[in-house]
Amino acid sequence: MNRINQLFINKPGNILSVYFTAGHPEIGSAPQIIKELANSGADMIEIGMPFSDPMADGPIIQNSSALALKNGMSLRLLFQQLKNIRSEVNLPLLLMGYLNPVLQFGMEKFCDACAETGIDGVILPDMPLQIYEEEYSMYFRQKELANIFLISPQTSLERIHHIDNAGNGFIYMVSSSSTTGMKDHFSAAQTAYFKRVSNMNLKNPLIVGFGISSHEHFTTVCQFTSGAIIGSAFVKMLAESKDLEHDISMFISNIRGE
């Protein structure tokens, strides 16, 4: 069974998924960050594939992608860096990024490399649902890779059901129709959105991302969904850190309120 599915069976709530950009803050940081997150109590890890035109990302993740590319990060190098990661980490690992670099790498080749590396799922926000179903779903199924789709407050009920049927692993609930980045609090409209989708009783678990940066945010979304994704706040911390082991541990503890 895919590690993502196993996670949600073993732990149906309070799941903390953490995003960082591969190649940031240093070209070889990814394996250490993954190991420190696993040791510090993260439940799932999303490894960002840097891209030169990250449309859905705010300035913090945009800057991390720009620095990672300047450092020389590429998909080929990332797979090389992660080739032995499964000997040390058993958490679900996902790759998140944009379709263009994956198509340049080759979709079938990409899925093969994910399987060989031990990647459990992929999040490509700009991959059209119809294109996935018609052209690429066979590669994901063959390698037992979860394909994660995003929804937003504006996503229709019909499309949410379509996504629930087409995707697997979990549904990524974008908290608002904006780019990634830290926010102060959730509005009444946002919490109503969390409740509304939660009450649809979808087959896939729900995880909320975009704007999660504190223990308060984490506990709020966990009232309605299976958990939360933290990206910009963690990437910002990495850029400022002088001691990754200590700072990653403290960051996770603070989000969990421990």
- Residues acting as catalytic residues: 46, 57
Residue linked to tokens 């309120």: 257
Residue linked to tokens 């506990």: 219
| 238 in Cβ contact with 20 (< 8 Å) | yes
Q: 82 φ, ψ to 5°?
A: -100, 5
